[in-house]
Amino acid sequence: MTIYPQQGAVMSKTGTCVFRVWAPERKKVELIISSPVQEQLTMLREEEGYWSYEMPGCPSGLRYHYLLDGELHRPDPASRCQPEGVHGDSEVTDGLSFNWTDQQWKGLALKDMLIYELHTGTFTEQGTFQGIISRLDDLLQLGINTIEIMPIAQFPGTRNWGYDGVYPYAVQSSYGGCQGLRQLVDAAHAKGLAVVLDVVYNHLGPEGNYLPEFGPYFTDKYHTPWGSAINYDDRDCDAVRGYFLHNALMWLDEFHIDGLRLDAVHAWWDSSAVHFAEELSAAVKDLEVRTGRKKVLIAEIDLNNPRYITPADKGGYGMQGQWCDEFHHAIHGLLTGEKNGYYEDFGEAEHMAAALEHAYVYTGQYSKHRKRRFGASPKNNARSQFVVFTQNHDQVGNRMLGERLISLAGESAARLAAATMLLSPYVPLLFMGEEYGETKPFSYFTSHSDEALIKAVREGRQQEFAAFQTGKDVPDPQSEELYKQCVLNWKTSGPMYEYYRHLIALRKGRAPLQNDAPDSMIVHPAYHAAVLSFERHAPEEKLLVLLNFAKEEQQCTPAPGCSLKKISDSEDINWNGKGKTAPDEVPVGGSITLPPLSAVVYEMI
């Protein structure tokens, strides 16, 4: 593995702090100490454009920034703490003194995860890491074993999804900072919960982004939706690759995080002989060996390209798994009938059948939306490498009004979607609140301080949704009231909640898919345009799952060569269903009447 110099203010066990920053085009860089004393210290120029200063006896909490060429006062690009926000001084933090109690924790493999995505600010009224800690027992009761936290790198203000972060190394101060995050991870591990962190290595937000003033962190070789691309392969890219590589290792090692969800890796433009994704995967594998703990990399990819999750020795980049948007699109298209945007490629039962069988829907066929052939088959990849969902922050929050699936399609459809996801052979991910049928929206929100940027964001949202004739105004993302409307109601009881608990227990306890053998999951062709079925096989048990995506009753005659005994029905009155359910027992060759928008599970006897 390539050894890159580590940036930031890094404390040693002896109390010495090494300040290092990359500024290759600067003639002079000075370290400005603002508290507890005021000093101006000249930094030493090192090779490849780095500058450093070694300070013995450095106190934790020391405030500082850098002075570039005697003109520009700027915070540390690798700051661990920004107590005064994105424009204020940086602060030295000492992570070595934290008293970890998770020495016996060894992590979880991706195949064993049942993930719950949450946003720290809206997950609880407190909007902090301590707020998350207060709800960990509720997630355990539900059956969750992994939480996935949306980005927490320091962003402008206190209200943000986190994808506008501008200090990848700093933990958002209003959430509880570095200490609060360590307390959360330690508490989660004590309860047997893994922690995955969402990180953004494809762009930085606009406000407080001072990286270009230090060096060529960005390149105009490629265009991205956020402007210039991160410089992974242009001149002077080594320090940039090191900057993000060390950041990933910091979360996984120093903060004991179990895995990273990597935002939009398709925007990591890199033509190097060793792609940054492969280099990161190798570094994380080295960390696993050194620590004896399982670490997971989950890539978000807008490409049906299995190369990212194929081992390096087989020509891939070696990541463990990926978010699979097309599974969501297939369910959403069937249940809502929406055809705008990328949904024009979905909406038929055949799309859902493909998603159940392959995770990807498009594996080389023509896409109307993309106007080209799209995707490749993941036939050589394990099903347990794909994370699937019926909702997530993107698919809910990027809607104009932030509506959840239950608000768009109703309770029956929401139960059907939950069963399709949780009984599939893939790794399921719940979006906070869906388990009890939360109807409050999850909208896009910000709290920028730059008036020109605020205006631009407002106008951008209005233009984005100008074609949607809803009769409603586009919400103002800067509105604090909009943010408050997104805070969860929190219910740990009720029919929907109990149905989710039932499905999770069913997934874990009845015909569990303990391996990725091809015969452990059999998808049948659609009975007709609306009914799908698949079998879950384990050594001691076989289950048949029937899914009716139609809004009317449907007749089907399964032919498994055995009789059937019902163990789950989404329209049962216990789950607030309509009570008109499929038959409890079905003889060999018998016919089944499926209720509208229902999921029924039979034991194959």
pLDDT(1) > 70: no
Which residues are CB-neighbours of 56 under 8 A, at least 6 positions away?
14, 15, 16
Round the average pLDDT of the chain to a whole number and report it.
95
Asked if the model's pLDDT at residue 514 lies above 90, the reply is no
- Between strands 227-230 and 427-431, the pairing is unpaired
At residue 96, the pLDDT reads 85
Task: Please give the distance of CA 319 from its chain centroid, rounded to a whole number.
Answer: 14
Summarize pLDDT for 116-127 with one digit per residue, the tens.
Answer: 999 999 999 999
What confidence score (pLDDT) does residue 470 get? 64
What pLDDT is recorded for position 78?
A: 98
Torsion of Cα atoms, 462 then 464 then 469 then 470, to 10°: -70
Burial of residue 578, with CB atoms counted within 10 A of its CB: 0-12 exposed, 13-18 middle, 19 or more buried? middle
Write down the pLDDT at residue 178. Answer: 96
CA distance 230 to 243: 11
Is 230 a residue whose pLDDT tops 70?
Answer: yes
Residue with tokens 């994808």: 163
Tokens of 234: 């242009």
Q: Which residues contact 100 (CB under 8 A, 6 or more apart)?
A: 182, 186, 256
Higher pLDDT, 9 or 560: 9
By the 10 Å C-beta count (0-12 exposed, 13-18 middle, 19+ buried), 440 is classed as middle
Rounded to whole angstroms, the Cα distance separating 144 from 146 reads 6
Say which residue the tokens 């540390």 belong to.
76
How far is the C-alpha of 242 from the C-alpha of 251, rounded, in Å? 14
Residues 6+ apart with CB under 8 A from 497: 142, 435, 436, 437, 491
> Topology of domain 8-95, per CATH?
Immunoglobulin-like (2.60.40)
Report helix, strand and coil shares of the chain as percent, to nearest 5.
30, 25, 45
Instruction: Indicate the SS3 state at residue 185.
Output: helix
- Are the beta carbons of 421 and 428 closer than 8 angstroms? yes
Largest Cα separation within the chain, whole Å, is 85
Q: What is the pLDDT of residue 473?
A: 86
Determine how many CB atoms are found less than 10 A away from the CB of residue 465: 17
Does the pLDDT of residue 469 top 80, yes or no?
A: no
Q: What's the average model confidence in pLDDT over 60-89?
A: 97
Mean of pLDDT values over 537-566: 92
Instruction: Tell me how many degrees the CA angle 437-443-447 measures, rounded to the nearest 5.
Output: 140
Confidence of residue 467 (pLDDT cuts 50, 70, 90): low
**Quick count: other Cβ atoms within 10 Å of Cβ 130?**
15
Residue 440 makes CB contacts below 8 A (sequence gap 6+) with: 404, 433, 485, 486, 487, 488, 489
Quick one: average pLDDT of 392-417?
A: 97
Q: For the segment 358-379, what is each residue's pLDDT rounded down to a tens digit?
A: 999 999 999 999 999 999 999 9
Distance of CA 102 to the CA centre of its chain: 24
Cβ neighbors of 227 (< 8 A, separation 6 or more) are 203, 218
Give catalytic status of residue 76 as yes or no. no
- List pLDDT tens digits, range 312-362: 999 999 999 999 999 999 999 999 999 999 999 999 999 999 999 999 999
d(CA 1, CA 185): 28
> pLDDT-derived band of residue 468, with 50, 70 and 90 as boundaries?
low
Burial of 476 (0-12, 13-18, 19+ CB in 10 A): middle
pLDDT beyond 70 at 95: yes
pLDDT given at position 515: 64
Distances (CA, A) of 28 to 163, 175, 240: 32, 35, 20
For range 66-94, the mean pLDDT: 97
Q: How far is the C-alpha of 520 from the C-alpha of 285, rounded, in Å?
A: 29
- Residue 495: CB atoms within 10 A of its CB come to 17
Mean pLDDT (whole number) for 554-577: 93
Specify whether 300 is catalytic.
Answer: yes
Catalytic residue among 89, 233, 300, 434: 300
HEC letters along 29-78: EEEEEEECCCEEEECEECHHHEEEEEECCCCCCCEEEEEECCCEEECCCC
Residue 202 parent element (H or E): none
CB 323 within 8 A of CB 336: no
Q: Contact at 8 Å (CB) between 205 and 167?
A: no
Whether the upstream peptide bond of residue 36 has omega within 30° of 0, thus cis, is yes
Per-residue confidence (pLDDT) for residue 148, from 0 to 100: 98
pLDDT digit string (tens) for 165-211? 999 999 999 999 999 999 999 999 999 999 999 999 999 999 999 99
Q: What percent of the chain has pLDDT over 90?
A: 89
DSSP, collapsed to helix, strand or coil, labels residue 22 as strand
Q: Among 452, 334, 469, which residue's Cα sits nearest to residue 400? A: 469
Phi, psi of 229 (to 5 degrees): -80, 155
Minimum mean pLDDT range among 272-286, 296-310, 501-515, 559-573: 501-515
The SS3 assignment for 448 reads: coil
The crossing angle, in degrees rounded to 10, of helices 325-336 and 349-358 is 160
Q: What mean pLDDT comes out for the span 45-64?
A: 96
Query: What is the predicted pLDDT for the residue at 527?
Result: 66
Per the confidence metrics, is the pTM higher than 0.95? yes
From 233, 263, 411, 569, the catalytic residue: 263
DSSP reduced 3-state for 605: coil
